[in-house]
Amino acid sequence: MRKQLSKVILIIAAVLLSLVFLYPTYQDYQYRKKLSALAGQDSIAYLEQHEDDILNAKLKRLKLGLDLQGGMRVVLEVDVIQMLEDVAKNKDDNFRTIISELRSGATTTDESVIPVLGKKFQDRGIRLSRYYGSIRESDATIVGELTNETEKAIDRAIEVVRNRVDQYRVSEPTIQKQGGRRIIVELPGVKDEREVRSLLQGTAKLEFKLLRDADISYKVMKSVDDYLSGKVEEDTSAAAKTLKKEQKPKDALEELLSGTKPAETDTSREARFTREHPFFSYVLPDQQNTGEGFVEEKNRDRVIRLLARPELQRLYPIDFEFLWSAKPEPLADGKQYYRLYAVKRRAELTGGVIVDARASVSQEDNRPIVNMEMNSEGSREWARITGANVGKRIAIALDNAIFSAPVVINKIVGGRSQITGLDSPNEARLLEIVLRAGALPAPLAIVEQRTVGPSLGEDSVQSGVSATLYAFVLTVLFMILYYRSAGIVADFALFFNILFILGVLAGFQGTLTLPGIAGVILTIGLAVDANVLINERIREELQGGKTMRAAIDAGYSKAFSAIFDSNITTFLTAIVLYQFGTGPVQGFALTLMIGIVASMFSAILITRVIFNTMTDRNMPPNFG
Amino acid sequence: MRFFKKTNIDFLKLRKIMYLSSTAVIVAGLISLAIKGIDLGIDFRGGTELVLSFTAKPEVSQVRAALGAVGLGQSEIKFFGAEGDLLIRTAEQGEGMVVGDKIKQAIEQAFPDRKFEVLKEDKIGPKIGEELRKDALYAVAASFLVILAYIAVRFRFIYGVGAVVALFHDVLVALGVLSLLDGVIPTLNLEISQEVVAAFLTLVGISVNDTVVIFDRIRENLKIYRSLSLMEVINRSLNDTLSRTIITQGTVLLVLFTLFFAGGEVTRGFAFTLTVGTIAGTYSSVYIASAIVLDWTIRKQKRKEVNP
For the domain that residue B118 is a member of, what is the CATH number?
3.30.70.3400
Contact A624 B2 (CB under 8 A): yes
Angle between helices A5-37 and A607-616 (to 10 degrees): 120
Mean per-residue pLDDT for A78-105? 80
Q: In the structure, what pLDDT confidence band is assigned to residue A261 with cuts at 50, 70 and 90?
A: very low
User: How far is B182 from B21, CA to CA, in rounded Å?
Assistant: 22
B30 interfaces chain A, CB cutoff of 8 Å: no
Do A467 and B264 lie within an 8 Å CB cutoff? Answer: yes
Smallest Cα distance from B185 to chain A, Å: 22
Domain count, chain A: 5
Nearest CA in chain B to A452: B120
Residue B75 lies in a domain: yes
Q: How many C-alpha atoms does B105 have within 13 Å on its Cβ side?
A: 10
Q: How far apart are CA A357 and CA A351, in angstroms?
A: 11
Residues A37 and A105 grouped into a single domain: no
DSSP notation for A408-467: P-S---SSEEEE---S-HHHHHHHHHHHHHHHS---EEEEEEEEE-HHHHHHHHHHHHHH
Is A576 within 8 Å of B95 when comparing Cβ atoms? no
Answer whether A525 sits within 8 Å of B124, measured CB to CB: no
Same domain, A272 and A296: yes
Distance (Å, whole) CA A228 – CA B6: 84
Residues 6+ apart with CB under 8 A from A456: A70, B51, B119, B120
Name the nearest CA neighbour of B251 among A442, A480, A229.
A480
Asked if the Cβ–Cβ distance from B2 to A463 is below 8 Å, we say no
Domain end point (choices B105, B124, B143): B124
> Tens of pLDDT along B121-170?
888 887 788 888 888 888 889 999 999 999 999 999 999 999 999 999 99
Query: In this structure, are A298 and A223 located in the same domain?
Result: yes
Please state, as a whole number, how many other Cβ atoms lie within 10 Å of the Cβ of residue A181.
22
Q: Does residue B3 lie in a domain region?
A: no
Is residue A624 assigned to a domain?
no
Reply yes or no on whether the pLDDT at A371 is more than 50.
yes
Flag whether A381 is in a domain: yes
Mean of pLDDT values over A268-285: 79
pLDDT of residue A106: 63
| B51 in Cβ contact with B87 (< 8 Å) | yes
| Domain shared by B300 and B186, yes or no | yes
Residue B111 lies in a domain: yes
Same domain assignment for residues B119 and B224? no
Number of domains in chain B: 2
Q: Give me the torsion for CA of A566, A572, A576, A581, rounded to 10°.
A: 60
**Contact between A305 and A259 (Cβ < 8 Å):** yes
Q: How many residue pairs bridge chain A and chain B with CB atoms within 8 Å of each other?
A: 232
- Is A469 domain-assigned? yes
A28 has a pLDDT exceeding 90: no
Residues A99 and A225 in one domain: no
A518 → closest Cβ in B132, B243, B267 = B267
The one-letter amino acid code at B302 reads K
Mean residue pLDDT across chain B: 88
Which letter does DSSP use for residue A62 in this model?
A: P
User: B25 in a domain, yes or no?
Assistant: yes
Residues A499 and A612 in one domain: yes
How far from chain centre, in Å, is Cα B157?
26
Percentages of chain B per state (helix, strand, coil), in multiples of 5? 70, 10, 25
- Ramachandran region, residue B84 (left: φ > 0; alpha: ψ -120 to 50; beta: rest): left
Contacts with B43 from chain A: Cβ below 8 Å: none
Say if CB A448 and CB B126 are below 8 A apart. Answer: no
Residue from the list B194, B212, B259 with its beta carbon closest to the beta carbon of A585: B194
Same domain, A197 and A221: no
Residues in chain A with CB shorter than 8 Å from the CB of B124 are: 447-448
- R_g of chain B, CA atoms, integer Å: 24
* Cα A286 from Cα A221, distance rounded (Å): 12
Which of the four pLDDT bands, split at 50, 70 and 90, describes residue A564?
very high
Any bridge partners for residue A185, and if so which? Answer: A74, A175
Which residues neighbour A113 within 8 Å (Cβ) at sequence distance 6 or greater? A80, A81, A84, A102, A106
- Phi, psi torsion values for B56, nearest 5 degrees: -120, 115
More confident residue, A189 or A296: A296
DSSP for residue A190? -
Q: What percent of chain A has pLDDT over 70?
A: 90
Return d(Cα A73, Cα A83) in angstroms, integer: 24
The alpha carbon of residue B56 and the mean position of all alpha carbons in its chain are separated, in whole angstroms, by: 36
Most confident segment among A47-61, A403-417, B133-147, B208-222: B208-222
Confidence of residue A246 (pLDDT cuts 50, 70, 90): very low
Query: What is the least distance, in Å, from the CA of A273 to any CA of chain B?
Result: 47
Please judge whether B126 and A108 are an interchain contact, meaning their C-beta atoms are less than 8 angstroms apart. Answer: yes
Contact B1 A565 (CB under 8 A): no
Interchain CB distance below 8 Å, B151 and A569: yes
The CATH number of whichever domain residue A470 belongs to comes to 1.20.1640.10
Mean pLDDT of A462-467: 87
Average pLDDT for residues A411-427, to the nearest whole number?
A: 87
* Structure confidence by residue, pLDDT tens digits, A283-320: 888 888 788 899 988 888 888 888 888 888 888 888 89
- What residue numbers bound the domain in which A3 lies? 1-61
Same-domain check for residues A266 and A376:
no
Contact criterion met (CB < 8 Å) for A450 and B121: yes
Residue A108 reports pLDDT greater than 60: no
Q: Average pLDDT, whole number, for chain A? A: 82
pLDDT at A111: 59
- In this structure, is the dihedral angle defined by the CA atoms of residues B194, B196, B202 and B203, taken in order, positive or negative? negative
Spatial separation of the C-alpha atoms in residues A456 and A468, rounded to whole Å? 18
* Interchain pair B118, A561: CB under 8 A: no
pLDDT at A80: 80
User: Cα A146 from chain centroid?
Assistant: 31
On the question of pLDDT at A250 being above 60, the answer is no
> Looking at the structure, do residues A534 and A473 belong to the same domain, yes or no?
yes
**Rounded to 5 degrees, what are φ and ψ at B170?**
-60, -45
Whether residues A569 and A584 share a domain: the answer is: yes
Residues B35 and B87 in one domain: no
Please check whether residues A338 and A408 belong to one and the same domain: no
Is A394 within the bounds of a domain? yes
**Does A566 sit within 8 Å of B216, measured CB to CB?**
yes
- Domain shared by B32 and B71, yes or no: no
Q: Are residues B200 and B280 in the same domain?
A: yes
Are the CB atoms for A465 and A473 separated by under 8 Å? Answer: no
Contact B201 A448 (CB under 8 A): no
User: Tell me: the pLDDT tens digits for A58-84?
Assistant: 778 888 888 888 888 888 888 888 878
Shared domain check, A429 and A354? yes
A69-86 in b/e form (b: 16+ CB < 10 A) is bbbbbbbbbbbbbbbbbe
Q: What is the mean pLDDT of residues A554-561?
A: 93
CB contacts of B118 in chain A (<8 Å) are 451, 453
What's residue A236's pLDDT?
Answer: 42
Residue after which a domain boundary falls, among A289, A316, A343: A343
Condensed to tens digits (0 to 9), the pLDDT of residues B181-204 reads 987 877 777 888 888 888 888 888
Whether residue A554 is contained in a domain is answered as yes
Distance from CA of A435 to the nearest CA of B (A): 27
Report chain A's terminal Cα–Cα distance, integer Å: 25
Residues of A in contact with B123 (CB under 8 A): 446, 448-450
Residue A560: pLDDT band by 50, 70, 90 thresholds? very high
Distance from CA of A573 to the nearest CA of B (A): 5
Please, are residues B175 and B246 in contact by the beta-carbon 8 Å criterion? no
Instruction: Give φ, ψ of A253 to 5 degrees.
Output: -60, -50
Cα separation of A465 and A489, whole Å? Answer: 24
| Strands, E assignment, chain B | 47-54, 76-80, 85-90, 116-124
Considering only CB atoms, B146 lies closest to which of A470, A484, A572, namely A572
**Looking at the partner chain, which of B154, B216, B254 has a beta carbon nearest the beta carbon of A478?**
B254
* Chain A interface disruption, residue of B146, B251, B254, B261, most A CBs within 10 A: B251
Task: State percent of chain B over pLDDT 70.
Answer: 97
Task: Provide mean pLDDT across the span A41-67.
Answer: 79
pLDDT for residue A538: 93
Identity at B9, one-letter amino acid code: I
The answer to whether position A66 is within a domain reads no
Share in percent of chain A as helix, strand, coil (round to 5): 60, 15, 25
pLDDT of A399 > 90? The answer is: no
Segment A345-351 shows an average pLDDT of 87
Q: For residues B237 and A414, give the distance between their C-alpha atoms in angstroms, rounded to a whole number.
A: 86
Rounded to a whole number, what is the distance in Å from the CA of B108 to chain A's nearest CA? 16
pLDDT in tens, B17-59: 999 999 999 999 999 999 988 888 888 888 888 888 888 778 8
Domain limit, last residue, from A389, A404, A439: A439
- Domain boundary (A172, A202, A232) is at A202
Per-residue model confidence (pLDDT) at position B307: 67
Residue A515 lies in a domain: yes
What pLDDT, on a 0 to 100 scale, did the predictor assign at position B225? 93
Instruction: Note whether residue B1 is domain-resident.
Output: no
Q: Name the more confident of A410 and A624.
A: A410
Q: Backbone phi, then psi, for A322, in 5-degree steps?
A: -95, 135
- The pLDDT, as a whole number, for residue A340 is 92
In a domain, A548, yes or no: yes
Euclidean distance between CA atoms A219 and A342, whole angstroms: 11
What domain range is B91 assigned to? 47-124
CB-nearest partner of B201 from A467, A474, A577? A577
Helix (H, G, I), strand (E, B) or coil at A316: coil
Q: Is any Cβ of chain A less than 8 angstroms from the Cβ of B115? A: no
Same domain flag for A467 and A608: yes
**Which candidate from B117, B195, B255 shows the least CB-CB separation from A453?**
B117
Q: Taking CA atoms, what residue in A is nearest to B248? A: A529
Contact B255 A568 (CB under 8 A): no
Residues B141 and B197 in one domain: yes
Task: Give residues with Cβ within 8 angstroms of A102, minimum separation 6.
Answer: A81, A84, A113, A116, A117, A120
C-alpha span between A154 and A177 (Å, rounded): 8
CA–CA dist B132, B198 (Å, integer): 12
CB proximity list for A56: less than 8 A, separation 6 or greater: A24
> Is residue B239 within 8 angstroms of chain A, CB to CB?
no
Asked if B194 is an interface residue toward chain A (Cβ–Cβ < 8 A), one would say: yes
Please report whether residue B80 resides in a domain.
yes
* Residue B5 resides in a domain: no
Q: How many CB atoms neighbour CB A213 within 10 A?
A: 13
A606 vs A555: CA distance, rounded Å: 15
What's the CATH code of the domain at A401? 3.30.1360.200
Given a contact cutoff of 8 angstroms between Cβ atoms, the answer to whether B205 and A525 are in contact is: no
Touching A: B residues 118-137, CB under 8 Å: 118-128, 130-132, 135-136
Of A460, A569, A581, nearest to B150 by CB-CB distance is A569
Confidence band (pLDDT; 50, 70, 90) for A253? very low
**Calpha distance A41→A349 (Å, rounded):** 48
Strand ordering across the sheet containing B85-90: A174-178, A182-188, A71-78, A444-452, B116-124, B47-54, B85-90, B76-80
**Could you tell me whether strands A336-343 and A349-350 are parallel, antiparallel, or unpaired per DSSP bridges?**
unpaired
Q: Could you give the CA distance from residue A169 to residue A421 in angstroms, rounded to a whole number?
A: 30
In this prediction, residue A481 carries a pLDDT of 92
Q: Tell me whether residue B6 is in a domain.
A: no
Cα within 13 Å of Cα(B198), Cβ side? 32
Mutate to test the interface with B, among A80, A522, A524, A561 (most CBs of B within 10 A): A522
Q: Chain B partners of A458 at a C-beta cutoff of 8 Å?
A: none
